[in-house]
Chains A and B, each alone.
Chain A
């Protein structure tokens, strides 16, 4: 990991020195112990600020999109011949590159507007699991020693193995190495455990329908509609989100539980073929809503029905933007036979 960090800094410095990028998005140490935070650097010397460790949990593709689209908007008032292109460099692990692939497929920006420093990834620590392991006590001091987190709290010093607090999405990640990159900071990382990817979904599918509904109601009952999940999601970039549209108003804002459920169904559903399981929504949710249980189902079905895994290749277009004549039709109702097989 230290080697990756060193290599990453070198590459970042070089890109800025050679002026191949206008801004570089990476991670720096957070203000609290055991955290990292996104940072934007524009000068080669600043490359020393960059870090790469187990606390880098943000999907930086979100910021790539933000920076480029804001820049493009600012250019609208400039004469076409004077418009400037902005090239964004980004430190990207597997899931970040998948989100970039989605942006490229959805024509949000061109491949020439982003330079990717690919980092092999071995997963990040889930801050909720860390806090649980520490009995909820505030971390006064902390450091990462290899694959062990050392944390000092009021109650004393504790050591936690990263493996024990790995985020759920990382545990079963299928694409922990970058899908696309311009330079790589290090050798490919060993695979995680993708065989177990859908275990949780399968278990949920096998529950009786009333239990499934009760769980959905319970989880969505926690949601306070802060929209942090949407803000953190690299695939949520609409200038006007359906949530704020008022003609028609897709979702009500009353305290009737169904309004929140409908909001959630709509947001979850339009992640079909667009959720890369980076865990961003889950990690920012202040209420601990189990969003992944539902998102992963969409991923499973899109693979079963259309053999697509979101953002897993530039050539494989998103499942809902194409179709085949012989796509699955099992769910179509035929009155003659009195049913369908779902």
Chain B
């Protein structure tokens, strides 16, 4: 299908301002190449990310959603990422239980000094989502 050949995964990355966003910046400044499939949304902290955002992104047609923030112990609001970790542990299992592929929602940590890791994460996630193909479940037909 020609349409499918042209298909490129669309990934929404919801990241915290202090670590992962800075890590993405560093990847850029260091001219590290990574796939252009990701749209970054900057939030103050992973603790600020309402799990509804993820569900909503999937409904709006994201093929994958990535959430990333500071490593545990390094959150700039001290424990925002620790609360987030609990919410996402539950969410990921739940979405998978309902029948959504586990690889469509990915959670990780990337610090401000990890430009290379950021690029690796994007590469890895893009590959995973590419393997799954375009999202069909939960997607709103507009």
Contacts and interface: CB of A to CB of B under 8 A. Distances in A.
A265 interface: yes
B116 to A, nearest CB: 10
B86 A258 contact: no
B86 A327 contact: yes
A258 B96 CA distance: 16
A242 B52 contact: yes
A259 B79 CA distance: 33
Interface residues of A, number: 49
B99 A332 contact: no
Contact of A216 (B82, B99, B139): B99
Interface stretch (A33-41, A49-57, A185-193, A317-325): A317-325
Contacts of A320: 83, 86-87, 90
Interface in B1-37: none
B63 to A, nearest CB: 15
B83 A335 contact: no
A272 B90 contact: yes
A79 B52 CA distance: 40
Contact of A269 (B51, B82, B109, B137): B51
Contacts of B86: 305-306, 319-320, 323, 327
Given A210-B99, A269-B94, A332-B109, A327 B51 contact: no
Contacts, number: 121
A329 B85 contact: yes
A298 interface: yes
A212 B90 contact: no
A69 to B, nearest CB: 24
A212 B98 contact: yes
A212 B95 CA distance: 11
Interface residues of chain B: helix, strand, loop or mixed (majority):
helix
Contacts of A325: 72-73, 82
A328 to B, nearest CB: 6
A254 B142 CA distance: 10
A250 B55 CA distance: 10
A147 interface: no
B98 A294 contact: yes
Nearest to A272: B90
A7 interface: no
A335 B90 contact: no
A204 B52 CA distance: 24
Nearest to A209: B99
B101 interface: yes
Interface string A251-286: 010101011011001101100100000000000000
B113 interface: no
B91 A269 contact: yes
Nearest to B82: A323
A83 to B, nearest CB: 34
A252 to B, nearest CB: 7
B43 interface: no
Interface string A295-328: 0011001100110000000000001110111011
B97 A204 contact: yes
Given A212-B99, A297-B97, A320-B87, A250 B82 contact: no
B41 interface: no
B124 interface: yes
A262 B137 contact: no
Nearest to A331: B92
A262 B55 contact: yes
Interface of B: 51-52, 55-56, 59, 72-73, 79, 82-83, 85-102, 106-109, 117, 120-121, 123-125, 137-141
- Among all A-B residue pairs, the 10 with the closest Cβ atoms: A213-B99, A335-B120, A212-B99, A323-B82, A335-B124, A333-B108, A258-B140, A216-B98, A333-B106, A297-B97
Given A329-B72, A335-B117, 8 more contacts: A258-B139, A262-B59, A301-B89, A320-B83, A321-B83, A324-B82, A331-B89, A334-B108
